[in-house]
Amino acid sequence: MSPVIAIDGPSGTGKGTLAALIARHLGWHLLDSGAIYRALGLAAERRGLSLDNPSSLQPLAETLPLRFDSGKVLLAGEDVSEAIRSEAAGMAASRVAAHTSVRAALLQWQRCMACEPGLVADGRDMGSVVFPHAALKIFLDASPGIRAERRYKQLMAKGLDANLPQLVADIRERDARDRSRSAAPLRAAEDAVLVDSTDMSIAEVFDRVLEEVRRVFPELVV
């Protein structure tokens, strides 16, 4: 199997940005697994399916017409990259992701993304379930307050409405569901390197993770 770097952690830790930077730096492929759950939530809502009913979500997950192309997320050929980034889409993703059969349906799809020269995989269970043999596992965390603040700034920068106390409440609700579900709960793999980004800039996190990349892949010139 091609080498894998798994980057897990709750939302708002800078995980997605970090994974994209590391993948670009190494020239490796990138898997944004959250985007799969977000696209599935969107597809389910558009079809009027209940997000809490795995028996109708599982067949949809098995046949989801999803493709990543040049940084875009295409659902049945439609560019949904922006549509899946809303807070509502994040909540819907967290709900569909709680079902064991849905996660099982998406497992092989995700594993197929590991190809040469290597894959940087970003999510909640990359190191614990999807790629348990990943050569390097990073678990990125940050306090809920700072994560909500970062999200608030992102939304404001996009000219979107944002309410900080509501964002803190949403983050706590999503964390609680992602951590307490029985199917692949959000947790650090035993052999993961823990990085707390609460007081770190993205550049500092990148340098810290690059140190680990050099340690694990000394043959790579990075």
Q: Give the dihedral of Cα atoms 6, 11, 17, 18; nearest 10 deg.
A: -40
Q: Which is nearer to ligand DC, 104 or 220 (CB)?
A: 104
With contacts defined by CB under 6 A, how many residues of the chain interact with ligand DC?
Answer: 14
Rounded Cα–Cα distance for residues 110 and 126 (Å): 9
Sole binder of ligand DC in the list 4, 138, 178, 192 (CB under 6 A): 178
Q: How far is the CB of 90 from ligand DC (least distance, A)?
A: 5
37 binds ligand DC (CB under 6 A): yes
174 binds ligand DC (CB under 6 A): yes
Q: How far is the CB of 173 from ligand DC (least distance, A)?
A: 10
- In the chain, the amino acid numbered 179 is R
151 binds ligand DC (CB under 6 A): no
Rounded Cα–Cα distance for residues 216 and 222 (Å): 12
Q: How far is the CB of 221 from ligand DC (least distance, A)?
A: 30
- The H-assigned helical ranges of 64-138 are 87-96, 100-111
Q: How far is the CB of 199 from ligand DC (least distance, A)?
A: 22
Rounded Cα–Cα distance for residues 20 and 17 (Å): 5
Rounded Cα–Cα distance for residues 67 and 69 (Å): 6
Rounded Cα–Cα distance for residues 110 and 97 (Å): 14
Site for ligand DC in 89-128 (CB under 6 A): 90, 93-94, 97, 123-125
Footprint of ligand DC (CB under 6 A)? 11, 33-34, 37-38, 90, 93-94, 97, 123-125, 174, 178
